[in-house]
Structure 1
Amino acid sequence: MRGPHNLLRLIRTGATLERTGAMKVVMDAFDTPPLVRMAARGLVWPFQWMGYRGDPKVPPVPRALTALGPAYIKFGQVLSTRPDVVGNDLATELRVLQDKLPPFDLAVAKQSFEDELGVSVSSVFSEFSEPVAAASIAQVHRARLAETGEEVAVKVLRPGIEKAFRKDVDAFYFAADCIEFLSPASRRLRPRDVIEHFDGVVTGELDLRLESASASEFAANTGDDAGFQVPSVQWEYSSRRVMTLGWAEGDPLGDNDALDAAGHDRHALGNRVLELFLSHALRDGYFHADMHQGNLKVAPNGDIIAYDFGIMGHIDEYTRRVYAEILFGFIQRDYQRVAEVHFEAGYVPANRDVDEFARALRAVGEPIFGMDATRISMGRLLNYLFEVTERFGMETRTELILLQRTMVVVEGVARSLDPEVNIWDVAKPVVASYIQQSIGPRALGRDLLKTARVLVRFGPRLPGLVEEVLIRQATPEVAVKPRRWSSAVIGGVVGAVLGGGAVLAILSLS
């Protein structure tokens, strides 16, 4: 039975926060009401002895999260990009969680490389450094290929990380089940689905072959993006627990002093981070979903370099169109259209009033657009939007969780570079360009053409399929193997054939 172990884990979480002093820091950061403070600390205090002490030289919150394990560290990494949420001091403290965690021994890393690839480190590399960065799941070494002299980054998973992470996630599942049981209203938010999504995403980080494939695909998608670089994968020296990439030389995006000393324009960099994320998400449907400062550098020529591709986001074309229309509706302050998109996509139950929903969205958007540039926040919009959709019965959309979370992180990165970055001014041309290309007559033509191509492949089978359905509907007693077809399907097939044929005819004439 895992239940007792998970309950113990959650109790130890609270006890660790209290014992390290992190509980008070977090409550101060979120301005927690006095009654809630007393209740929370009162529940945890008797179990304080069960908490981890952590390294006393480390500030309380990073100390607690580091002691608790990799999943908690991931959470701290997200908060480190949101000084507007947790305050500048705490955000700065949490940045040590991005790439400055205690490393494991160099000899262990070399042995892991040799065990995985079956070759000695000395035969592949003329140089192999001590760890240059250590994060929650892996650490990175700077090395030089003996054959070519090229500098590379070698990423090696932490020993036993799979087991440690599984322990954290099991406790999260247990907490989600408890929440759903104790609070039926919370089931609308589907907490277990949220944890399953998080589980799947980070489990992918634990297989570096998948990360290598992600880096390769991302590089192919973004090869023509101005001011952006992705290091190339060295497939020959990559495997499940080891990944080798070209070395990325540059200043950390989180080091404003270094960026200023190098003469980089931080306002332009902040704008570009936002533009790149929105372009990748909308144009490609494939985006870097862990874009905190620890995974970004600025090259001497001013290019932004991305690395660490363990968490990548994917959204299908339909969802991209819905998301773009919602964003563009807010940018245009067309709340009626934003409301209609929610209903058309099935995000809000059809039995609710679309006009009332539009008025509620106006109450969300107008106060934000009345703010100056330093206070306009996508994170604030998402929080308010969540409150409104909760009232209208909208369920949590697991396919959008990673997109929304990354949007919040990227905004935090941009604000850390320059608080004057105006997210709406940056987003408007990117979203408008996507809508122009993906929604409208041209997009309809492309959709119909795709449909026609599918029908061409199935063309020889269509008459038989339609005849089978017609016979079964006319004579239900005929023993025909059911295929779950209906008159609506037949109508859809006929409509698609006619529409696709029309598109092909137009294209042939053009």
Structure 2
Amino acid sequence: MWLSPYFRLAQAGFVLAREGALSIIPKESLPPALRAPIALGRLVERPEVRRTGHVERLNRALRLLGPTYVKFGQTLATRPDVVGPEVAADLQGLQDRMEPFDPKLVPDILSQALGPKAEQLRDISAPVAAASIAQVHKARLVPTGALPTTVAVKILRPGIVQSFAADIESFYAGARLFERLARKLRRLRPLQVVETLDRSARLELDLRLEAAAISEMAENIKNDTGFVIPTVSWDHTAQNVLTTTWVEGIPVRDLAALDAAGIDRKVLAANILQSFLKHAIRDGFFHADMHPGNLFAAPGSNDVIAVDFGIMGRIGRSERRFLADILYGFITRDYRLVAERHFEIGYVPANQSVDDFALAIRSIGEPLHGRTAADISMARVLGQLFAVTDLFSMQTQPQLVLLQKSMVLVEGVARALDPDLDIWSLAEPVVGDWLRREAGPMGRIDDLKRGFEVFTDASKRVPTILAEAELVLAQTRLEQQARLRDAGSRLPLALGAGALLLLGILIGAVL
């Protein structure tokens, strides 16, 4: 029924408003068009929320609404500076402490997914982590003719595909409604943003694609240090089952355990932030769900161990260069560079002023320099950015949605580990090295190589293109000849009809 997505969306909005979700949205980050609807929605808040200001049941509300909303809550959990420390602490339970599904279902799921290979997975534990999409079990893999190894077995929740589809459908409905009711905000491209999230969800719900993502990232980071990922067992992986090597680590959110193990939290935070930037800028392929439940510290070192590669981000070379230039511009306080890159890539319309845009960017960047992460209010920064995008008619770039979300997650995790985090100092080695390589001889060689590959590929297609052109020309000649023959056959009829018409006119004139 076409009304069901809107009904589901309205239901979700009511539940979230009742539990106080609208009260955590900072007014300064909202455009004027949305302030009145938010104020209206807060009228249905529970009395306890309005009286105390506590939003203690938001965690439960998101669980009830389903996996897509849980994902949203996981992002908020990393931003105590935006939602407040109490709300963030409550939402951390969404990251890997969800209620597991019935363990009695596990043997049948494995048997149907893996066939005879399922018998090689033994001593399967109770769920060691249960998230919104899947849960993870520890097991012993006993392959024929090989030594047993300890593995992690990830299993999708039964019925999760259908649940995600319903949520995404309601998001599409909400995006269409938003575009109709808030025409001035169409530049945010809500429909394209939902399409991006939809594609991401479809990828996340096929664990074979997650296995492929782990394999690709392993190739990208084979020469790196400080970032560790598991290895896939392809013989024991299917659409709804993923088996990887077991990794031991200390959760990055357990600060007391990190300190007790002698982990240097500052180094760990730097590894997380720099690894993410390296993957995004150098490789264009990055882990897009780096919340604290997916990150661990390796005992005996400050290495980061990452798990759960269901959501991956990919950006092209132009977006990577844009990101690097923007970060470098903020690092060096070259706001003119930041402004010019926005115009060159088409994010700001050409009819706007580069100088005025550079001035607006300076108003955001200057207050951030010389401040620690603890001194920066991201809510205020987001509010300023929204005002700037509105002022200069900037449009949302769907291809950067996952990157923007991931940067928020990564910065939130890193600043929790190190409140004195200096984002710009940590970013400079990664960004600067990549830009220097791009601008240097190696970058020029890569450009020439890519140009030669394009030229070679086009050259290979020339014979085919010529053959197709000849066919089109031949077909065009045949059609022209056919039209001439038809015209010739219709000429006598046309002359006869004209003569009869003229005769009729003459007879009428005589009579």
- Give 3-state SS (helix, strand or coil) of 2:360's partner: helix
Q: Distance in 2 between matches of 1:304 and 1:354?
A: 40
Which shows bigger deviation, 386-395 or 306-315? 386-395
**Structure 1 residue 384: Cα displacement:** 2.9
**Structure 1 residue 223: Cα displacement:** 1.8
The 8 Å contact of residues 237 and 243 in structure 2, kept in 1 or not, is answered as: yes
The 8 Å contact of residues 296 and 307 in structure 1, kept in 2 or not, is answered as: yes
Match of 2:124 in 1: 128
- Give 3-state SS (helix, strand or coil) of 1:142's partner: strand
For 1:103-252, list aligned pairs within 5 A: 103-119=100-116, 121=118, 123-147=119-143, 148-252=147-251
Match of 1:500 in 2: none
Structure 1 461/40 Cα, relative in aligned 2: closer, same or farther at 3 Å?
closer
- Give 3-state SS (helix, strand or coil) of 1:156's partner: strand
Match of 1:368 in 2: 368
Q: Distance in 2 between matches of 1:309 and 1:315?
A: 16
**Structure 1 residue 336: Cα displacement:** 1.0
Match of 1:332 in 2: 332
Deviations 1:90-121 (A, max 9, x none): 11111110100000111212211111111374
Q: Distance in 2 between matches of 1:235 and 1:37?
A: 48
Structure 1 454/324 Cα, relative in aligned 2: closer, same or farther at 3 Å?
same
Q: Distance in 1 between matches of 2:39 and 2:196?
A: 33
The 8 Å contact of residues 329 and 335 in structure 2, kept in 1 or not, is answered as: yes
Deviations 1:78-97 (A, max 9, x none): 01111111111111111110
Letter in 2 for 1:110: P
Q: Distance in 2 between matches of 1:86 and 1:235?
A: 41
Deviations 1:295-331 (A, max 9, x none): 1111113221111000001011121011111111111
Structure 1 319/200 Cα, relative in aligned 2: closer, same or farther at 3 Å?
same
**Structure 1 residue 201: Cα displacement:** 0.4
Q: Distance in 2 between matches of 1:217 and 1:268?
A: 26
Letter in 2 for 1:364: I
For 1:428-439, list aligned pairs within 5 A: 428-439=428-439
Match of 2:85 in 1: 88
**Structure 1 residue 9: Cα displacement:** 1.2
Structure 1 119/361 Cα, relative in aligned 2: closer, same or farther at 3 Å?
same
The 8 Å contact of residues 7 and 171 in structure 1, kept in 2 or not, is answered as: yes
Correspondence 1:276 to 2:272:
no
- Give 3-state SS (helix, strand or coil) of 1:129's partner: coil
Match of 1:40 in 2: 41
Identity between Structure 1 and Structure 2 (%): 47
Which shows bigger deviation, 371-380 or 261-270? 371-380
- Give 3-state SS (helix, strand or coil) of 2:126's partner: strand
The 8 Å contact of residues 117 and 235 in structure 2, kept in 1 or not, is answered as: no
Correspondence 1:63 to 2:64:
no
Match of 2:318 in 1: 318
Q: Distance in 2 between matches of 1:300 and 1:399?
A: 36
Deviations 1:129-184 (A, max 9, x none): 01110000100000011242210000000010011111111111111111101111
Match of 1:445 in 2: 445
Match of 1:286 in 2: 285
The 8 Å contact of residues 26 and 61 in structure 1, kept in 2 or not, is answered as: no
Match of 2:95 in 1: 98
Correspondence 1:306 to 2:318:
no
The 8 Å contact of residues 96 and 293 in structure 2, kept in 1 or not, is answered as: yes
Structure 1 382/41 Cα, relative in aligned 2: closer, same or farther at 3 Å?
closer
> Runs of 5+ in structure 2 lacking a partner?
47-54, 470-475, 480-511
TM-score, reference length from structure 1: 0.84
**Structure 1 residue 391: Cα displacement:** 1.3
The 8 Å contact of residues 80 and 88 in structure 2, kept in 1 or not, is answered as: yes
**Structure 1 residue 193: Cα displacement:** 0.6
Q: Distance in 2 between matches of 1:321 and 1:348?
A: 16
**Structure 1 residue 252: Cα displacement:** 0.8
The 8 Å contact of residues 280 and 315 in structure 2, kept in 1 or not, is answered as: yes
Structure 1 329/480 Cα, relative in aligned 2: closer, same or farther at 3 Å?
farther
Structure 1 378/463 Cα, relative in aligned 2: closer, same or farther at 3 Å?
farther
TM-score, reference length from structure 2: 0.83
Q: Distance in 2 between matches of 1:219 and 1:445?
A: 25
Q: Distance in 1 between matches of 2:223 and 2:359?
A: 42
The 8 Å contact of residues 378 and 407 in structure 1, kept in 2 or not, is answered as: no
- Give 3-state SS (helix, strand or coil) of 2:137's partner: strand
Structure 1 27/311 Cα, relative in aligned 2: closer, same or farther at 3 Å?
same
Which shows bigger deviation, 343-352 or 233-242? 343-352
- Give 3-state SS (helix, strand or coil) of 1:209's partner: helix
Q: Could you say which structure has the greater relative contact order, defined with CA pairs below 8 angstroms and 6 or more residues apart? A: 2
Structure 1 211/465 Cα, relative in aligned 2: closer, same or farther at 3 Å?
closer
The 8 Å contact of residues 110 and 241 in structure 2, kept in 1 or not, is answered as: yes
Structure with higher Rg: it is: 2
